[in-house]
Amino acid sequence: MRLRYLNLKLYAPLSNLKVCFASDMIWNAIAEGSPDPCAIHFVVGLNGSGKSHLLRALASVFVSLADGRLPGFPFTLIYELGTADNPRTVIFNNPGIRSEASLWQAERIVFEKNVDADGFDVAIAALQTSEDFIARVAPGNYPQTVTDLLPKILAYTSGSWDAWNEVWRPPLDLAGQDFRFPKDEDFPFELERPVGWTGQDEDALDSVEKPENPGATLPHTYVDASDLLNRPILMSGSRPDAALLAVALQGLQTEREQGSVPVELANLFKKTVWQKLVSVRLRLNLDHALAAPRAMRNKIHDALLAAGEVISQPHPSERLRVLHFDVGAPLPLNTEYHDKRLATLTSQDEALTLLLGEQNQSAFSRFNELSRWLALGLIDGIEMSIRRNEKPENVEQADIGVMSYADLSDGEQMVLRRWALFHLLSGQQDALLLLDEPETHFNDAWKREIVSIIEQAMGKDASSVLIASHSAIVLSDVFDEEIIHIKKALDSTSSAYQVASRTFGTDPSALMMSLFETDDSIGIRAQRRIEAFIDYIRQQQAPTEKNIADLRMVISRLGTGFYRSELQTWLKQLQEDNERIALKRVIMNLDSPKLKAELLAVIEQKIPDTGDSNA
């Protein structure tokens, strides 16, 4: 999946936004062999310029397409699906009215690499008469099911989920189905709740009052419909943990088959103290499991049998069980599995892997299964235990190596979760990963690695990653063509621009000054103080002894950088008499660096690094 062009007429604060996503990097020049099909785009801009809005607008478009709706804003989106040898271009055009919304596709045809916004607009205007594009949904026929044109979409934010949940909110006609009344019928009085009561209060009361009838309905409504097949997935709640578990299980399976964990995955775990997955605990809600569809119920049945330990958790109204799966531990002896293959397996983690998906399936499909369990409320928590040291050889020695995943530091948990997303999509074609500031909470060393990690994990797949970022360090790792710069105008609408300076391989502090238009790479407070101090000294006709002493004091307190070097230079200047100034000028005009260096060293009364002290 490759994004090509997005035209947003109005998605406040974005207005008249036209983004052409660079379709081919200069990577071709630097890359070895054929270019990587994976496209990485960055969205940068100051706070409030609307970076996240751009991501959400895209998500909105795809969520609506999946639901057969239209988002409440006009847009045009062009993207490509499939691999380079069998591409397909899709145009989703919504001028704002349902009767004009249309969806077009062209097989084996892609837009030229260097088409600009005008070029795309011309192509869109000519759609009706185009020979290349056929109307999948002609104007007037929207909505129709077109799930085959949907890429796999995952969205993650390190910020607030509220706005994102809003985008994912299911269509009202589905969510409210059970609560709707015919227009001529009055609202039944007995359904009215007292002030301050919510549906949850009522459910809780119901379940306490009627324990003999265990909650026969599933919480699976469309309220959180991420589990609907083909709907884009919002990585909120426990889903990042599910992703991490799916990736870790995949790693274990590869280890069983090939003898070692893939090196990229090993590197990911090495970043934290994670050495090895020791056990997995799933918290199961028995009531929900019993009400689940038959196939799902069978799986849960098998899971209960295959788990090394099943512990009941006390709860006033619900029947909760915690299922322990120990990595490498043998399965309990049992023959009553629905899935007979389970009996032939040797370890509990293998069983869990099989329950989540066939052997040849990917981490992504296991993750899908897990998130379906989560959405149905079958499980409501995933916990993992990891080993951080080798097991002591001496049995009597205390084994301090095992710790819960939840006990890792916030930053470590986040790095694992976020990086797991890349590995989750590794090998998937036509995926679109939307990341909103994934580098928050990370130290600079980790920030530096983001782009290379994406490339290692997903570089070979025909997928796209769109990242909103603030980090100058991250941006020094990408080409300016890959960056979409959102700038706010005075009337507080935002538009997209190309970046005005080269970014790849640039020093981050220089980048910060050019991209975020700061006047300096040091903090404002430091800059103001230094400038105020300089102004003060400059106002003195001849600097006094005290000024010089102050200046020296300030210098000694400054860290290295522009201001320290310049203040030091100035200090030297202030202390010089005319004779020395003239002398130095003569020296600096000499041609030979060697002679220059030696003479300067003498003047500064220092022994030069080369040559002797009498020179």
Partner 1 sequence: MLRPIKKIESAAALNATQKMIQRFALWLCEPGRSAEKITEAEIKTLMKTPQEAAWLWSFLSGKHNGKTHLQRAKYLAALSANQKARLKAWVNATTNVGVYFDLTPTGKQIPVDSPFIKNKAAKTHWDNLKDLMEAFYLKGLNQGLAYLPDGNPTADKTKALNYQTFRMDFIKYHQLDKHEFAREVCVMCNGELRNTSIDHWIPKADYPLLSVCADNLVPICGECNQSPNKGKKKVHTEGSFEDWFHPHLRHPGGTLIITHQTSDFGVALNTTRASDAARVRNLNALFNLEQRWTREFKAEYRKLYNSILTRQQKKGTPLSLESLCHQLEEWADGLNPNQPHYEVHRVLAETLRDANRLMTWHAQLIDEA
Query: Which positions touch partner 1 (CB under 8 A)?
Result: 487, 489-490, 497-502, 507, 509-510, 513-514, 517, 519-521, 531, 534, 537-538, 560-566, 568-570, 572-573, 576, 584-585, 587-588, 593-594, 596-598, 600-601, 603-604, 608-610
Question: Which residue type sits at 510?
Answer: A
Query: Taking the complex as a whole, how short is the minimal distance between the CB of residue 489 and partner 1, in angstroms?
Result: 7
Q: What is the 3-state secondary structure (H, E, C) of 172-229?
A: HHHHCHHHCCCCCCCCCHHHCCCCCCCHHHHHHHHHHHCCCCCCCCCCCCHHHHHHCC
Residue 494 CB partners (closer than 8 Å, separation 6+): 13, 14, 15, 17, 45, 49, 50, 53, 486, 487, 488
Minimum separation from the CB atom of position 367 to partner 1 (A):
41
* Residue 584: Cβ-neighbour burial (10 angstroms; 0-12, 13-18, 19+): middle
Q: Which is nearer to partner 1, 148 or 566 (CB)?
A: 566
Shortest separation between residue 572's beta carbon and partner 1, angstroms: 4
Which CB, 341 or 580, lies closer to partner 1? 580
Least Cβ distance, residue 490 to partner 1 (angstroms): 6
Gap between the terminal Cα atoms of the chain: 69
Tell me the torsion sign for CA atoms 26, 31, 36, 42.
negative
In this structure, are residues 92 and 77 in contact, taking their beta carbons and an 8 Å threshold? yes
Q: Which residue has the tokens 């596709």?
A: 105
| CB hemisphere CA count around 46 (13 angstroms) | 10
Nearest distance, CB of residue 439 and partner 1, angstroms: 22
Q: Which is nearer to partner 1, 287 or 598 (CB)?
A: 598
Cβ atoms 289, 305 nearer than 8 A: no
Least distance from partner 1 to the Cβ atom of residue 602, Å: 11
Q: Tell me the closest approach of the beta carbon of residue 310 to partner 1, in angstroms.
A: 58
Q: Can you tell me the distance from the alpha carbon of 309 to that of 315, in angstroms, rounded to the nearest whole number?
A: 19
Q: Residue 120 in 3-state DSSP?
A: helix
* Minimum gap (Å) between residue 587 Cβ and partner 1: 6
> What is the DSSP track for 539-557?
HSSS--HHHHHHHHHHHHH
Question: Which residue matches tokens 């800059």?
Answer: 527
Specify the residue, 16 or 409, whose C-beta has the smaller distance to partner 1.
16
Our CB check for partner 1 shows the closer of 119 and 237 to be 119
> Between 172 and 489, whose beta carbon lies closer to partner 1?
489
In the complex, least distance from residue 118 CB atom to partner 1, rounded to whole angstroms:
9
- Nearer to partner 1 by Cβ, of 290 and 534: the residue is 534
C-beta closer to partner 1: residue 1 or 22 = 22
Beta bridge partners of 156: 435
Which is nearer to partner 1, 218 or 548 (by Cβ)?
548
Taking the complex as a whole, the smallest distance from the CB of residue 2 to partner 1 amounts, in Å, to 23
Closer residue to partner 1, CB minimum distance, 205 or 581: 581
Asked whether the beta carbons of 96 and 74 are under 8 A apart, the reply is: yes
Residues contacting residue 164 through CB under 8 Å, at least 6 positions apart: 56, 59, 155, 157, 234, 236
Instruction: Round to whole Å and give the CA distance between 327 and 332.
Output: 13
